[in-house]
Amino acid sequence: MCTPRQVEEKGRLSDSKPDTRTTALAAAKRLFVERGYSKTSLTAIAEEIGISAPSLYWHFKSKEEILFSLIEQDLNRFTSIVTENVRDLSPADRVETMARRYILIQLDRRPDPPIGCDGR
């Protein structure tokens, strides 16, 4: 049986290094952006994080499941940001606050214009 201190130390150790699933999702997101979804294989994702492709199947059934997990993460994060601390606001203020946050998130996600383009 672990003492409270040992449990706390184990928690810190596990928090210091992301698990394989988290690491794979981050690598997949980066590769999907760089190469495109259709040109990114499970093998490429596995190689990016230093594991074998069969090991990646332990965490995900398919590339589609990886994409779904990334979309789900993004939607959960988005929902948290938009709805944070609005419960006590009036309905009108709640809608205004959530709309403002939604717009700011979307503006932040705009792709940068190509170098040399002035937007005209």
Domains in the chain: how many in total?
Answer: 2
Q: Which residues of the chain have pLDDT under 70?
A: 1-17, 110-120
115 belongs to a structural domain: no
76 and 96 housed in the same domain: yes
Distance (Å, whole) CA 106 – CA 112 = 13
pLDDT, residue 34, reads: 96
Distance (Å, whole) CA 32 – CA 46 = 13
Cβ atoms of 98 and 82 within 8 Å: the answer is yes
pLDDT, residue 111, reads: 64
Residue 23 sits in which domain range? 1-60
pLDDT, residue 117, reads: 55
pLDDT, residue 109, reads: 72
pLDDT, residue 55, reads: 94
pLDDT, residue 106, reads: 84
